[in-house]
Amino acid sequence: MEYLKKIQEDIKSSLSMAAERMKYFYDKHVSELPDFAIGSQVWLDGRNVNTNEPSAKLKDKRYGPFKIIGKPGTHTYKLQLPQTWRLHLVFHISLLSRYKKDEIPERKLVPPPPVEVEGIEQFDVEEILDS
């Protein structure tokens, strides 16, 4: 009987050590969730946004900035999106990142207007500078 109790204690201690190690490595890579204020602006991750781009590589990585208009849950935020977008307005916090206004006004690049060819927006390439 003592032999079984000793084995059970060894198993319990091994399980608790394994749980402590798992917690340590989990906490090492997980950061606290950011808290966004209503009215602030955020970037929206482009993973779940469907576009007319011919390839996923050509899609924008993030869209915005968009204004936060509500917080319906603990981990969700409601964004003010353009009327033409047919998306649900509520997004999980993992799809949002803080918008930081650019301090250097000369750095802002205005993209050229797109040209439509058979209903698909395309850009004209004047020359290839480097390859």
DSSP 16: H
Q: What's the whole-number average pLDDT of the chain?
A: 85
19-31 pLDDT tens trace: 999 999 999 988 8
Residue with tokens 């930081």: 100
SS3 19: helix
Of 67, 16, 13, 74, which Cα lies nearest the Cα of 43? 67
Q: Are the C-beta atoms of residues 60 and 53 closer than 8 Å to each other?
A: no
- Rounded CA-CA distance 34/53 in Å is 31
95-118 pLDDT tens trace: 999 998 878 877 766 665 565 555
* Segments in the chain forming alpha helices (H): 2-29
